[in-house]
Structures are given as C-alpha cells and as structure tokens.
Amino acid sequence: MIMKKQTFENLISLACQESCPCVDVTDGVISAVSAAIYRNAKYDRPYTWMGAASAAIAACILIATTFFWQSNTDSVSEIMSYVSWVTQ
C-alpha cells in the first residue's frame, strides 16, 4: 500500500512539471457547431409548423369540449335536483 502511494505521489510530481499543449481549436469547433445548427434548422422547420398546427387544433378542441361539458353539466345538475326532491 505504501509503495502504491509513493508511486502515485511520483506521478503527481511529474504531472505538475508538465505544461499543457498550446492548441487552439475554438474557431474550428464554433464554425462546425454553427454550421450543424444551420444545416439542421431547415430540416426541423416542417416539424415545427406541424407541431404548431397540432397545438392550435388541440386548443380549439379543448375549448369546445369545455364549453359542451359545462352546458351538459348544468343539465345534469338540474335533473339531479329534481331526482333528489323525489327521493326525499
């Protein structure tokens, strides 16, 4: 165990003496990422429009369903009030 600790400390001291390589890849990476984003954007556009249309249709259906649910619920509550009067 002591030998492994000594070896590890030797590796740490060697690593501290080394310097980082001087390489600048930021320009290449940023240009590759921006090109990929621009290239993929034109393929995603139809899916975006389809999703927006689906969301609009779903919102219309939700509003219509809510309206009809409320009107039917009022009728049911009226019938239940008559039924409750009869059962008393």
Tens of pLDDT along 13-52?
888 888 877 888 888 888 888 887 776 666 778 888 999 9
Report residue 6's pLDDT band, with 50, 70 and 90 as the boundaries: confident
Domain parsing of the chain, residue ranges: 24-87
Amino acid 2: pLDDT: 66
Amino acid 67: pLDDT: 84
Q: How far apart, in whole angstroms, are the C-alpha atoms of residue 28 and residue 5?
A: 41
Q: In the predicted model, is pLDDT for residue 73 greater than 70?
A: no
Residue 17 tokens read as 């003496």
Q: How far apart, in whole angstroms, are the C-alpha atoms of residue 24 and residue 34?
A: 18
Q: How far apart, in whole angstroms, are the C-alpha atoms of residue 44 and residue 67?
A: 35
Q: In the predicted model, is pLDDT for residue 88 greater than 80?
A: no
Burial of 55: CB neighbours in 10 Å, binned 0-12, 13-18, 19+: exposed
